[in-house]
Amino acid sequence: MTVAHIRDVAELHFKQLPWSFNGQFGKEHILELYTALAASPHFFGYVFYVEGRLLGFVTATTDYADSRRLLSKVFNRKIWALLKVFARHPRFLLTALESKFLVPLVFRWHGARAEWLTFVTDTSQAYLGPFVALRLIEALNEHMSMAGIRVYMAQGYKNNPKAMRYYEKLRWRVAASLLMHNVYCWTTG
């Protein structure tokens, strides 16, 4: 994934997850998040295109603290918008608090610095979805292994049943089950 892919990535993210916490702020906000992440030397991602159309992507970082610092800067410029989202959807306040405070504790507990950030596929291409997903997961795992990462983590929002079922099929190991999130842990070979 390069900077040239960021707009496509943000558009697919918003198209597939408009109901999510970040989706509440709109497509331009998601573009800001990926732009901020791309400024980190620890950030990387993989994209899957077919005939010029983005069908999926995965992003990660080898230093979750750096990435979370960059994301916090984006949100710190939007305090009023955050308060409006929390007023309209109180569950997102709990989601944000877990993500900010509890998830990093779980990461530290497991000795992980690397984080799998996002994993999105175009669900309108159902026949290709599983293939795209598996290729992206394979690329991310290989990247982590080649970078010498032994343990990496991810957080998944529990109120996304389709994704949760898919993660179970993949036998992802739940390291912690919080109120709003599952935190997953992988070890590389």
Q: How many CB atoms lie within 10 A of CB 144?
A: 21
Measured CA to CA, the distance from residue 133 to residue 131 in angstroms comes to 5
CATH topology of domain 3-187: Aminopeptidase (3.40.630)
Measured CA to CA, the distance from residue 133 to residue 93 in angstroms comes to 30
Mean pLDDT of 37-44: 97
User: Domain residues of the chain, as ranges?
Assistant: 3-187
Q: Report the SS3 class of residue 56.
A: strand
Mean pLDDT of 45-61: 96
φ, ψ (nearest 5 deg) of residue 24: -65, -20
pLDDT on residue 189:
67
Show the CA angle centred on residue 121, arms to residues 62 and 24, nearest 5°: 80
Average pLDDT of the residues of the chain: 93
State if pTM tops 0.95. Answer: no
pLDDT on residue 159:
82
Mean pLDDT of 25-40: 97
Model confidence at 69: pLDDT above 90 = yes
Mean pLDDT of 105-118: 96
Mean pLDDT of 136-161: 92
